[in-house]
Structure 1
């Protein structure tokens, strides 16, 4: 047993042991068996979408029940409909590139989920894992651990009743930072999917285990003179109020060209947007970012609640607090992510200035994540897309939904990669493709060499797990020599790398 395994509490040790057994069994399932499991689990998630949404709001205090119901339903329906014919079990052949592709599941996946969309995130990661024949252990945010635990257990029952290996879906009921960090570094975990704040994402990448970390957003939205302002107002309000702004894709700072700003403000105010005075903006700033630090008590709260807590009076029908700011420098707290129906506002002379300010906002926070633009000028959309260091830009659609793949052709996802720009290994909307890799059997480029037809063929030879056989030894496979085993031991490798780094930089 490694040092990492020795530090694990009993619950975590049992979860990983069971997940490893499940993954070893799951890898031999065919597409039909997997499809039945995914259908059963997605159906169970759909049936429980409403009560679980109610419980999520009750436990966390975040968001809007109706919007969470829709979010939960969307995830379930995506797997029942969009992935109904997906096959991550059988081979794929490409006669053009003359390759045979064979799927390789990760094995044991550790899924770290946030508190802002707890049920949808758990359902999404579990369904991605099952569709690709992986076992998954969910580590929920402590602020949503009760609803996440019950959701994962419900999905686990549905999976096992449909034929999934026992232990294919599990949940850490008492998550803590030390336990989660130890699990991330455990050699039985082959992939970490971390969704949350920057700290948990950095911890995932430090673990030494292959990881996809998706961190915070801070989407600027630019509105130019060519936009349909009535449509813009409707879409902005719909987006910013969806689940009270808890999605990381939601608009954070609105930047409008001066010539259309008065008309846009009039349309927004008619839809329940309260334009704050300078004094009201100061009070909101001090409440949302007291002492420059984000106040998590505002996350997903109603605009009227945030206003009352900030000490300002607003109409009872207020849906969004619009806070004009004097600059987009990083020293202005309201240019950062707010995860609430608070929207900062800037009016600028022209489109070029709007682009520059959107870039400045992202340089301060939200690199790689997302942005939005409302414009009917394709040249401006092109220029904006080149100028902004993000990997998804919602065009003329509500950003909170569009960048998450709802109402656009981006993959529907609860986790969005920020790419190299934002310190993530992926720039894409997380989807089942990220839970499986492919071995490639490559044929000659010579067209006169035959490339066979693999359609209809099924694997007949048993799958062999060479690394396990070599590590444990068997009657047919000799055990690996101790000196070689030490070389490939993960903890040992980690120590060697650290020693070499210390020597390299002169650290002591």
Structure 2
């Protein structure tokens, strides 16, 4: 088997290769060069997008092929380049001062099993744009498709004259290789996507951490909403890639006055309605109680087709519904637990105040994502202030914040616990200040 570019036997080799590549990038290559590398990365990835999606699906068993093509395309083509690098200038008669966004050097990265290709491609572009290199410790259950993505990035960069190994990874990633990355003095910053355990592990390193943690995004539909439009938007967003996206709506809070109309509209889109008894059967197989008494999604059900989950639960199903909905109580496990499945609980609310209170509680202060379907600016403002999430969307699915049906750039890492938000090239830079003193270069 031909050796893949950027893929190394151990962390030491991967880190050293990334260190040499980053020094070469900063010494002999310009910002215009970086843009040329990014353009070719996008070109090469789009040439292989179908095989990348199929490989990811085959290896991980999560999601839907057609949705992965869309997801990975967005992460690649909407990724920001050097234009996202911040510049600050201070100019007075005392002189001219410029702050430059400088690279940290070598970054250590942890990728999730849910979105491996999108994470490597999107973060890879940001890393190249910012002048860094990165060593990925991939999720072991997605190491092969991750290696393919790493190889493609290096092929694309070297094809147009750039240094190889700006993006590297360990061939067989493990906790031992992650510990080696965290302990290395060469690694200056860590970036990771995953659950609370991953975030806690990276925090113990003592290094700067950019962490994307858990979410449980709620959505409110109030009495002023365009209910038909909301049904279309939520169906597309919540069912996408079998609910794998951490930003996607995981529970709905619908005012009683529009509840029945909304449910009728989402069923028109192809959603399957579960009875209360069927919802309980699904909950029993989809959500597990942990030894500490808390609840979490059953990993065997995460990202699976609704039909597979229903069959596992003993619920009769015809065809392949993209999502199932059911009338839920506020304290249902599917409402209060991040589950990443195409099962959507819908809570009937007596008032907007009740919907707002319950939605905020269900988000569990993850400060991740939320949406509201409303034409009432007061309701939108009140919910936005109270929910305090990193991503907040009115009258659209959460992907609107990433340039899909709205304005914005794409970024696969949404750093909620550490506060950076949707990551781009500027996220991976430090500020360097150069001052021309004593009135220098001030020409007014």
Q: Paired residue for 2:423?
A: 430
Q: Paired residue for 2:286?
A: 288
- How far apart, in 2, do the equivalents of 1:378 and 1:328 lie? 28
Q: Paired residue for 2:352?
A: 351
Do the aligned partners of 1:43 and 1:76 also contact (CA within 8 Å) in 2? no
Q: Paired residue for 1:49?
A: 49
Q: Once the two structures are superposed, what CA deviation does each residue of 1:303-357 show, in whole Å capped at 9, x if it has no partner?
A: 111111111113425221113222237xx35421111111111001010000000
- How far apart, in 2, do the equivalents of 1:227 and 1:101 lie? 45
Q: Paired residue for 1:270?
A: 268
Q: Paired residue for 1:6?
A: none
Q: Paired residue for 1:340?
A: 341
- How far apart, in 1, do the equivalents of 2:408 and 2:244 lie? 20
Task: Say if 2:136 is the partner of 1:138.
Answer: yes
Alignment of structure 1 residues 376-455 onto 2, 5 Å: 376-399=375-398, 401-418=399-416, 424-442=417-435, 449=439, 451-452=441-442
Do the aligned partners of 2:210 and 2:420 also contact (CA within 8 Å) in 1? no
- How far apart, in 2, do the equivalents of 1:425 and 1:270 lie? 40
Q: Paired residue for 2:5?
A: none
* 1:92 Cα offset (Å): 6.0
Do the aligned partners of 1:410 and 1:429 also contact (CA within 8 Å) in 2? no
Paired positions, count = 428
Do the aligned partners of 1:181 and 1:203 also contact (CA within 8 Å) in 2? no
Task: Say if 2:214 is the partner of 1:216.
Answer: yes
Do the aligned partners of 2:10 and 2:177 also contact (CA within 8 Å) in 1? no
- How far apart, in 2, do the equivalents of 1:117 and 1:327 lie? 29
* 1:158 Cα offset (Å): 1.7
* 1:405 Cα offset (Å): 4.2
> How does the TM-score come out when normalised to structure 2?
0.91
* 1:249 Cα offset (Å): 0.5
Do the aligned partners of 2:71 and 2:118 also contact (CA within 8 Å) in 1? yes
* 1:427 Cα offset (Å): 3.9
Query: Residue 338 of structure 1 aligns to a residue in which SS?
Result: coil
Task: Say if 2:99 is the partner of 1:101.
Answer: yes
Alignment of structure 1 residues 163-178 onto 2, 5 Å: 163-178=161-176
Root mean square deviation, CA, Å: 2.2
Alignment of structure 1 residues 352-367 onto 2, 5 Å: 352-363=353-364, 367=366
* 1:362 Cα offset (Å): 1.6
Q: Once the two structures are superposed, what CA deviation does each residue of 1:375-411 show, in whole Å capped at 9, x if it has no partner?
A: 0111111000111131211111112x22444333343
1:298 corresponds to which of 297, 301, 308: 301
Task: Say if 2:83 is the partner of 1:86.
Answer: yes
Do the aligned partners of 1:258 and 1:349 also contact (CA within 8 Å) in 2? yes
Q: Paired residue for 2:110?
A: 112
Task: Say if 2:230 is the partner of 1:227.
Answer: no
Task: Say if 2:361 is the partner of 1:328.
Answer: no
Query: Residue 86 of structure 1 aligns to a residue in which SS?
Result: helix
* 1:118 Cα offset (Å): 1.2
Query: Residue 251 of structure 1 aligns to a residue in which SS?
Result: coil
Do the aligned partners of 1:193 and 1:211 also contact (CA within 8 Å) in 2? yes
- How far apart, in 1, do the equivalents of 2:387 and 2:97 lie? 37
Do the aligned partners of 1:368 and 1:427 also contact (CA within 8 Å) in 2? no
Q: Paired residue for 1:464?
A: none
Q: Once the two structures are superposed, what CA deviation does each residue of 1:425-450 show, in whole Å capped at 9, x if it has no partner?
A: 22411111111122123567x9xx45
Q: Judge which range, 403-412 or 342-351, deviates more.
A: 403-412
> How does the TM-score come out when normalised to structure 1?
0.80
1:162 corresponds to which of 160, 163, 171: 160
Q: Paired residue for 1:68?
A: 68
Query: Residue 280 of structure 1 aligns to a residue in which SS?
Result: helix
With over 3 angstroms needed to count, the CA separation of the structure-2 counterparts of 1:280 and 1:190, relative to structure 1, is same
Structure showing greater radius of gyration is 1
Task: Say if 2:121 is the partner of 1:123.
Answer: yes
- How far apart, in 2, do the equivalents of 1:88 and 1:327 lie? 43
- How far apart, in 1, do the equivalents of 2:273 and 2:74 lie? 33
With over 3 angstroms needed to count, the CA separation of the structure-2 counterparts of 1:375 and 1:427, relative to structure 1, is farther
* 1:414 Cα offset (Å): 0.7
- How far apart, in 2, do the equivalents of 1:314 and 1:346 lie? 23
- How far apart, in 2, do the equivalents of 1:127 and 1:305 lie? 35
| Higher normalized contact order (CA 8 Å, seq sep 6+, divided by chain length) | 2
Q: Judge which range, 368-377 or 17-26, deviates more.
A: 17-26
Q: Paired residue for 1:502?
A: none
Do the aligned partners of 1:335 and 1:344 also contact (CA within 8 Å) in 2? no
Q: Once the two structures are superposed, what CA deviation does each residue of 1:136-185 show, in whole Å capped at 9, x if it has no partner?
A: 11221111111101110121122123222232221111111122022122
Q: Once the two structures are superposed, what CA deviation does each residue of 1:69-103 show, in whole Å capped at 9, x if it has no partner?
A: 11222222224xx53x62859x7645479531223
Segments of structure 1 that go 5 or more residues without pairing to the other structure are: 1-8, 419-423, 454-508
Q: Once the two structures are superposed, what CA deviation does each residue of 1:455-503 show, in whole Å capped at 9, x if it has no partner?
A: xxxxxxxxxxxxxxxxxxxxxxxxxxxxxxxxxxxxxxxxxxxxxxxxx
Alignment of structure 1 residues 18-37 onto 2, 5 Å: 18-28=17-27, 29-37=29-37
Task: Say if 2:151 is the partner of 1:150.
Answer: no
Q: Paired residue for 2:40?
A: 40
- How far apart, in 2, do the equivalents of 1:414 and 1:10 lie? 26
- How far apart, in 2, do the equivalents of 1:87 and 1:258 lie? 43
Do the aligned partners of 1:272 and 1:317 also contact (CA within 8 Å) in 2? no
Do the aligned partners of 2:102 and 2:131 also contact (CA within 8 Å) in 1? no
Segments of structure 2 that go 5 or more residues without pairing to the other structure are: 1-7, 290-294
Q: Paired residue for 1:485?
A: none
